[in-house]
Structure 1
């Protein structure tokens, strides 16, 4: 249990940096440039997820897993694609149904995605973290 907590804390720190990338890009695209929030969310999430993957395998997860490198990247991509769907669903829900601001909705949606991404990467894709 302590190892899981430690991994989650480290993943949250890495995720926090990725979230800043995601939120910053989203703000520029959706708020400043007035690009539709779903497209803005897709672009910002995709770039932040790429950043997260490379930082994660460098500082947290062992890049050698039970999968080949190609399969590892494919699995991370598929997990991230589902994470994107979760993120966009909650972005839509909070902004369109609950009428929260776009930035508030984006930040809330990120927390739901964090749980999904950490769980799938920690328990399925990567066999051990780098400590």
Structure 2
């Protein structure tokens, strides 16, 4: 239980850092570069996924030493699903509910963060024998 709690804390810290990368790039692209919020959200999410991959596999999850390409492909597939969840929630909150995109991003990120932890722990982490 201690190990799981420590892992959740590490995951939260990595997620917090990656959220600022994601959020900062999205706001910059939308406000400064006049990119549509859905496109800027997709771009920023993608950049933060790369940072999250490196940090998660370095500091959070204990993975098998082996096929990093296979591991990265799994990580990307899980992240693409997370991106789909993110984009659907952003669209629904902004276009349907009328919530400001910066606020919508916070809620969407929280949902995707839970999805990410559960799926990465179940699929990527090595199994103790």
TM-score above 0.5:
yes
Deviation at 1:63, TM superposition (A): 4.2
Once residues 35 and 94 of structure 2 are traced to their aligned partners in structure 1, the CA distance between those partners, rounded to angstroms, is 15
Once residues 32 and 101 of structure 1 are traced to their aligned partners in structure 2, the CA distance between those partners, rounded to angstroms, is 17
- 1:13 aligns to 2:13 (yes or no): yes
Q: Which residue of 2 is the match for residue 30 of structure 1?
A: 30
Once residues 127 and 119 of structure 1 are traced to their aligned partners in structure 2, the CA distance between those partners, rounded to angstroms, is 14
Q: What's the CA shift string for 1:105-130, capped at 9, x where partnerless? A: 111110010011111111111227xx
- 1:64 aligns to 2:78 (yes or no): no
Deviation at 1:45, TM superposition (A): 0.1
Once residues 85 and 22 of structure 2 are traced to their aligned partners in structure 1, the CA distance between those partners, rounded to angstroms, is 15
Once residues 63 and 25 of structure 2 are traced to their aligned partners in structure 1, the CA distance between those partners, rounded to angstroms, is 27
Q: What's the CA shift string for 1:43-72, capped at 9, x where partnerless? A: 00000010011011121222435x621110
Contact 2:63/2:124 (<8 A) preserved: no
Q: What's the CA shift string for 1:56-108, capped at 9, x where partnerless? A: 1121222435x621110100000000000000011111111111111101111
- For 1:75-94, list aligned pairs within 5 A: 75-94=74-93
More displaced 10-residue stretch of structure 1: 25-34 or 46-55: 25-34
Query: Whose relative contact order is higher, 1 or 2, with alpha carbons under 8 Å and at least 6 apart?
Result: 1
Q: Which residue of 1 is the match for residue 46 of structure 2?
A: 46
TM-score (norm 2): 0.91
Q: Where does structure 1 differ by over 6 angstroms across 4 or more consecutive aligned residues?
A: none
- Which 5+ residue runs of structure 2 have no aligned equivalent? none
Once residues 3 and 124 of structure 1 are traced to their aligned partners in structure 2, the CA distance between those partners, rounded to angstroms, is 18
Once residues 14 and 106 of structure 1 are traced to their aligned partners in structure 2, the CA distance between those partners, rounded to angstroms, is 17
